[in-house]
Structure 1
């Protein structure tokens, strides 16, 4: 004979990287998402809601192509066309901006929140389904737009209580442009790119050959923003790439003006995860928290055959954000007799109480209050604390 319920156990089993979010975590996540959306909305960002699934050719256009390998695909039984389940919401919002909102005045400020699903998780983020919250600022190449995105991403996280926050700034196109200007061969580029990605100083010097000092200096020009900028400015960089460094410096200055206390770091050789971005990019971290809290950067929003619109935005990953926040409290729960006055119960809820009304008149109110995890109960119009 078999003990237990094997059918029930099989029904509760979920695929790797997927999980049920239970109380109070589900309510906590929903509340934080709405706080973040309210915060960015105050800066002029209007909320949009793209569909969970859409045709593959539109979903994977432009920046969407970078998440092609992470996208679940299926056949639409109605149109017989391939569809994709979104792995990232940024490409969808960019599509909305350049199609449905093409006639809206620029710069266009949009925000969003929703679930995404990916084919596989990563070492730092094993979750395959999680919630994204983000903004896109479309139709401007302004340096102030870059600074607004960096500031708003950090300010939104600070507004919900994230502590120990830092922003790591990157120029993912810088190394590639240096490769072109210096005329490196494809093999030299691959070897040097791999060495830079590993942060292997010895391998960088060997792969860079006659340009060893330049790329070694670039690798070492990382760390706190002021020190990194000083090292970058001292490097013998070609004139054609100095504009990127100057822009980075101006953006840092603008962000500092908006929040002088924000910790900013720079890593100019980092490009992994920023492959589709066209300029300044950034990652948000919190001290002691596994994984990045969010990412952002500049990209081109595709417009079909026409040249893309300049855009910058960021996405916050709610699984990581919640790890950076205190464990939520379920609040004050009061057990009410079945014949309690409705107006009194409404007044309690209005000031923050969670009310649980008795359904069994014959049950002992003290036992029921404890069993249903109430912190208080109403006895003869008097609120009493429930003792363990």
Structure 2
């Protein structure tokens, strides 16, 4: 960014000039046409809401990314949306509570106090789809297909699809009895995949030996699914939750491999783990280490509104997609 631009725009906030803006608008139209053809209803959500409605359910993980201020009219605390998924969840729970399955799509700007990744955007133009009321793997595959189609419409070729499952880590941590602060340290180490630091932490932790061994293995369980998933069955405890998670990954990776997807499995990748409950996924460009899209399952969403139901979805940043095409 030039010194002149830096006078006007905060870090992580970009503007689009005519050529790029027209490309973004053309992509927006193609995406919405695609989502409509697949049966997803478009919602236009407000830029600002009462803070407590933005930070319930899926939104709790966004608390430190949300700008907040006091409403001069009501005196209540308001928040600027940092992600549109919680808004879609609220709408599904309160406006479509009687529907068996609800498919919603959205596209609009969000604002975050800090980027998700170093050098990332703080004001993405977020596009996404959410499917509520279907707990099946077919629903997850439908969302992954839509994510892949989104990348294809943006001109992204041969993306790498990274898959994980929150149930494995959640089951292992449930057996530890760790205090939240200690569990956060473990979580941070796993996200950095620092094996020496993990080994030191595990030696100092008062954990059952089987749990300690499983956590030590978890950080190395990443790579092609045909290698990682058999290794995980051998290395991890054969609990019902771990078995169900690995069964789901087996089924999804086989289905996606039949469709020619470029797949990678990472069992210690915990993006969105504070609210996701099952399969998680992200797409990367062939020449970029930055996520182009992400998603996963977050069952139970809507419970705070009296309408709990399974859910799965994805989102992507239009500006990031165009820059990577």
Q: TM-score, normalised by structure 2?
A: 0.88
Q: What is the distance in 1 between the residues matched to 2:290 and 2:269? A: 16
Find the partner of 2:109 among 112, 115, 126: 115
> What do the CA deviations read for 1:245-273 (whole angstroms, capped 9, x no partner)?
1111112223334x2x1111111111144
Deviation at 1:185, TM superposition (A): 4.1
Q: What is the distance in 1 between the residues matched to 2:197 and 2:100? A: 46
Deviation at 1:77, TM superposition (A): 2.8
> What do the CA deviations read for 1:132-186 (whole angstroms, capped 9, x no partner)?
00000001211111121122211221233211301101113312311323x4544
- 1:200 matched to 2:201? The reply is no
Q: What is the distance in 2 between the residues matched to 1:317 and 1:10? A: 22
Equivalent residues of 2:172, 2:215 under 8 A apart = no
> What do the CA deviations read for 1:13-69 (whole angstroms, capped 9, x no partner)?
223322321111111111112212222222211111111111111121111121111
- Report the CA distance shift for 1:184/1:56 in structure 2 as closer, same or farther (over 3 A): closer
> What do the CA deviations read for 1:223-248 (whole angstroms, capped 9, x no partner)?
11222112112224232221111111
Q: What is the distance in 1 between the residues matched to 2:70 and 2:168? A: 40
Instruction: Structure 2: give runs of 5+ residues left out of the alignment.
Output: 204-208
Q: Which residue of 1 aligns with 2:304?
A: 304
- Report the CA distance shift for 1:36/1:242 in structure 2 as closer, same or farther (over 3 A): same
> What do the CA deviations read for 1:197-235 (whole angstroms, capped 9, x no partner)?
221223334444534543333322211122211211222
Q: Which residue of 1 aligns with 2:291?
A: 292
Q: What is the distance in 2 between the residues matched to 1:184 and 1:65? A: 22
Q: What is the distance in 2 between the residues matched to 1:293 and 1:130? A: 11
Structure number with the bigger relative contact order (C-alpha 8 A, sep ≥ 6) is 2
Q: TM-score, normalised by structure 1?
A: 0.74
Q: Which residue of 2 aligns with 1:356?
A: none
Greater mean alpha carbon deviation, residues 190-199 or residues 149-158: 190-199
Equivalent residues of 2:57, 2:304 under 8 A apart = no
Q: Which residue of 2 aligns with 1:28?
A: 23
- Report the CA distance shift for 1:83/1:225 in structure 2 as closer, same or farther (over 3 A): same
Q: Which residue of 2 aligns with 1:130?
A: 124
Greater mean alpha carbon deviation, residues 68-77 or residues 193-202: 193-202
Pairwise CA RMSD: 2.4
- Report the CA distance shift for 1:35/1:78 in structure 2 as closer, same or farther (over 3 A): same
Q: What is the distance in 2 between the residues matched to 1:189 and 1:62? A: 20
Q: Which structure dedicates a bigger proportion of its chain to strand?
A: 1
Find the partner of 2:68 among 60, 70, 73: 73
Q: What is the distance in 1 between the residues matched to 2:159 and 2:283? A: 7
Q: What is the distance in 2 between the residues matched to 1:177 and 1:283? A: 22
> What do the CA deviations read for 1:68-95 (whole angstroms, capped 9, x no partner)?
1111122223323221111100000111
- Report the CA distance shift for 1:310/1:87 in structure 2 as closer, same or farther (over 3 A): same
Q: Which residue of 1 aligns with 2:78?
A: 83
- Report the CA distance shift for 1:236/1:290 in structure 2 as closer, same or farther (over 3 A): closer
Q: Which structure dedicates a bigger proportion of its chain to helix?
A: 2
- Report the CA distance shift for 1:251/1:101 in structure 2 as closer, same or farther (over 3 A): same
Q: Secondary structure at the match of 2:12?
A: coil
Instruction: Structure 1: give runs of 5+ residues left out of the alignment.
Output: 1-8, 326-388
Q: Alignment length, in residue pairs? A: 313
Equivalent residues of 1:195, 1:204 under 8 A apart = yes
Q: Which residue of 2 aligns with 1:98?
A: 93
Larger Rg: 1
Q: What is the distance in 1 between the residues matched to 2:309 and 2:113? A: 29
Q: What is the distance in 1 between the residues matched to 2:77 and 2:283? A: 35
